[in-house]
A and B are shown apart, each in its own frame.
Chain A
Amino acid sequence: MPSSPLIMTSVTKRFGTFTAVDNLSLEVPDGQIIGFLGPNGAGKSTSLRMGLGIMEPDSGEVELFGARPNVRALQQVGFLPEERGLYKKMTARDTISHFARLKGLSAHDARTRADELLSAAGLEEFSRARISKLSKGMAQKVQILSTLAHRPKFLILDEPFSGLDPVNQQALEDLVRAEHARGATILFSTHVMEHAERLCDRIVMMARGRKVLDGTLKEAFATLGQGARISVENGFDLSSALGPKGFEAVRTTDAGHGETWRIDLPPGREAQDALRAAIEAGAPITGFAPEEARLRDVFVSLVGEADAAALAASLAEDEAA
């Protein structure tokens, strides 16, 4: 079996004059959880749909389990699309078993698996309820269960956390971890960086159709210079005080009770070193905080404020939904 369930090489997709995905190369190593990040419109869903063979790329190549996407390879894949939808008149149990059968399970196994999953998800009593009678959250759970019913080797989840309340988001995170522990490779797209931070081994960042980062979390954070924030009072010039000691300080805010400076940490130096240097320089310190880098900061540093604003807009849309 190939070590990478999905390999995309120099894939481009255009819609008229608009380039949705531009020369994307991506490899999803077996057994990993990969986060596919970026704001709405960054090209994530189009990339995933090309990866699944739903759409043909205009150029480039896609290999799913070592071949062009085909039904046999897709039987090993569980896909949760961004735009959720089920047959409203089907029952929860029939829905899960129908999709499981389409993925190759026998009628008996599909029904047994549906019962098992519904029971595990606490939806046993709704197993014979029509999808139209379920709440939106429950229907979404049923769709997620349909994606998992055939125990896929490779899970592709497009914005899986979108539309879920915090409790169900946590439950889904647990489910992703459980599937990963079972041995599944997982690729999920999101514009909520926190989920990726908590779950992913690797992340791929997209902006305006182009890949801007592909690496581990550590590698992602390494793209940001580390820093610390020190607040001082009485207009103390921290830049002059720390400059000779090898730290660059930039005044960021004046909060009324003093000024906060952001200190760039040179490679090999820690936040504590900057604090010690400031004390030694006699700075009247009122606050100190080592800077915790977030993926959002990585994203901003890579793509700039314009795309970061698009990301914020995506989050706002998600919250509104």
Chain B
Amino acid sequence: MRNILLIFRRDYLGYVKAWGFWLSLAAVPLFMIIGAALASFAAQSSPVRYYAVIEPGGIYAEAIEAEFQRREMANAERTSELAEQLDLPVMSEDEARAAAEGASIASRKFIPVPAPADSIDGLRPYLLGEKLVSGPLGDKPLFAAFVLAEDGGELEYWSDDVNVDQLRYLAQDAMLRLARRDALNKAGLGEDFLQKVDDNAFDVPARRIRTIEEQDATGAEVTMADRAPMFVAGGLAYFLWLMVFSIIQYLLMGTIEERSNKIFDTLLTSVKLPELLAGKMLAVFAVTSTMMLSWGLFAFAGGTLVATQIPGVGSIIEPFLATLANPAIIVPGLISFILGYIMYGMIFMALGSLCDTIQEAQTLLSPMMILLMLPMFAIFIAFQDPGSPLVDIASWIPFFTPFLLILRMPHDPPLWEVLAQMGLMAGFALLILWLSTKVYRAGAVHGAGIGDMGGMLKRMVGLKGKAV
């Protein structure tokens, strides 16, 4: 154990003392902050643009304006619902309407202005930026103009910038609503007919079937407590995948360094090979854990900061914490996690021991990435539809089992399946451990290379192969 710890300590300190580690550590929160700042800056700094509508009666301009207001109102309602969930002070409908109206002036990115000409030819210099139009924010070029076609059948959208399409799509929606309103009016049904129809439609609330006792205690509604296990399991499976994905480089490069530094003989006259491998695996595990814990702490600090501002956030987090404390999910999850890490980690370390140079290792990276993408697809499918027969079958393939068993746990799979898959996983992990140790020994002690792998595998399964 002492030797394992000494190998672990050296490797761990070797990794964390490197600049690359600190760069990686800082990169995620830094990019998150920069990304959020850039997104906020982009939203705030996006230019306010003028548009005009050329039409005889002002119906279309009014319809577009109504569509702007409808969307702003819908946004205000969504915000209000979220605030209600989080126990934040909720605005009344009138306040929401007033806020939406205020937003229409303060934050709208498209503002209507009177058309400076009554034909597209007259507007041309304004649309090309050669002349400016006056509006609430001063003189600006005209960004777009809607012109009613001569036959009255189209509202043409004219602009010099064909890439910014939001205004056109919004106008399209406005025209649809206008057409519906006209049709309803003609039918004598009134503008709010469809809304009333929608309001009368049956709601289909989600109910979870439970035992009578459970239902009496918690009710039948589907809450975050019902969904949290799947989110936690998904997070754990993704965390395992991310961990495995992150260790490739550490295990490959670390082993190559030792091989190219010709240090194995010195190490192997001080520690046993299993101790060496265990120390190295633990070190890489600790390095990636340090990184992810640091990011987690960063997220936690940010979350706590938000939680102090939002009183209801605790009730959202609570089901997730309860899931993490549920042994039926977390025990198989952790076992899968550890066995998955051993399985993949040992494969990468063994392959690293066969490489003399980084270039040689890079040739291995592509197949490794493909090997790793397969579980990612499996995670995706399992998250979408955990009961899929494909997931059931794939969960018996040992390379996928660690990920898929974690994801199946919230759905109470039969106990025998859980135990059988854990047994299969453990057996396969042991097989990988045995094979990888052999390969590692061949690479580290005998200097075998990637080209010798065929011969090695043949000899391992009892066929004659070239000795290394």
Contact = CB atoms under 8 A, between A and B. Distances in A.
Interface of A: 14-16, 49, 52-55, 71, 74-75, 77, 79, 81, 83-90, 98-99, 101-103, 143, 146
B351 to A, nearest CB: 20
Nearest to A131: B261
A88 B263 CA distance: 11
B265 A49 contact: yes
Nearest to A70: B272
A88 B261 contact: yes
A86 B466 CA distance: 31
B268 A54 contact: yes
Interface string B107-148: 000000000000000000000000000000000000000000
Interface in B257-283: 257-258, 260-263, 265-272
Given A83-B265, A87-B263, A102 B17 contact: no
Contact of A89 (B18, B268, B271): B18
Contacts of A90: 10, 14
13 contacts: A14-B467, A16-B466, A49-B445, A71-B3, A74-B270, A81-B266, A83-B262, A88-B257, A88-B261, A89-B17, A98-B10, A101-B6, A102-B267
A85 B262 contact: yes
A83 B265 CA distance: 9
A54 to B, nearest CB: 5
Nearest to A79: B269
Contact of B468 (A15, A74, A85): A15
Interface string B164-196: 000000000000000000000000000000000
Contacts, number: 67
Interface string B16-40: 0110000000000000000000000
Contact of A79 (B14, B17, B258, B266): B266
B467 A52 contact: no
A14 B263 CA distance: 23
B261 A71 contact: no
B10 A85 contact: no
A53 B445 CA distance: 11
Q: Which of B262, B270, B445 has the most CB of A within 10 A?
A: B270
A98 B6 contact: yes
Nearest to B17: A89
B268 A102 contact: no
Q: Which of B17, B260, B467 has the most CB of A within 10 A?
A: B467
A71 B263 contact: no
Nearest to A17: B467
A85 B3 CA distance: 20
Nearest to A74: B269
A86 B17 contact: no
Contacts of A15: 446, 467-468
Contacts of B445: 49, 54-55
A16 to B, nearest CB: 4
Nearest to A143: B266
A87 B18 contact: no
A18 B260 CA distance: 25
B270 A102 contact: yes
B10 A52 contact: no
A16 B464 CA distance: 10
Interface string B240-271: 00000000000000000110111101111111
Contacts of B3: 71, 102
A83 B18 CA distance: 26
Contacts of A146: 266
B10 A77 contact: no
A55 B6 CA distance: 23
Nearest to A89: B14
Nearest to B7: A102
A103 B3 CA distance: 9
Nearest to A150: B270
Contacts of B10: 87, 90, 98
Contacts of A52: 268-269
B259 to A, nearest CB: 9
A290 B112 CA distance: 117
Contacts of B272: 71
B270 A99 contact: yes
Contacts of A14: 467
B265 A79 contact: yes
Interface string B429-468: 0000000000000000110000000000000000000111
A54 B269 contact: yes
A114 B269 CA distance: 19
A77 B270 CA distance: 9
Given A15-B467, A89-B14, A103-B270, A54 B265 contact: yes
A178 B400 CA distance: 59
A138 to B, nearest CB: 16
A87 B14 contact: yes
Q: Which of B265, B267, B268, B272 has the most CB of A within 10 A?
A: B265
Contacts of B14: 87, 89-90
Which 10 A/B pairs are nearest by Cβ-Cβ distance? A85-B262, A16-B467, A102-B270, A85-B261, A83-B262, A81-B265, A79-B269, A85-B263, A52-B269, A54-B268
Interface string B383-420: 00000000000000000000000000000000000000
Contacts of B260: 85
A101 B265 CA distance: 16
Contacts of A89: 14, 17-18
Contacts of A86: 261, 263
Nearest to A81: B265
Given A79-B269, A83-B265, 8 more contacts: A15-B467, A52-B269, A54-B268, A54-B445, A74-B269, A88-B261, A89-B18, A90-B10
B49 to A, nearest CB: 56
Contacts of B257: 87-88
Contact of B261 (A16, A74, A87, A102): A87
A130 B382 CA distance: 49
B266 A85 contact: yes
Q: Which of A55, A79, A85, A89 has the most CB of B within 10 A?
A: A85
A16 B270 CA distance: 28
Given A55-B445, A89-B17, A98-B10, A71 B266 contact: no
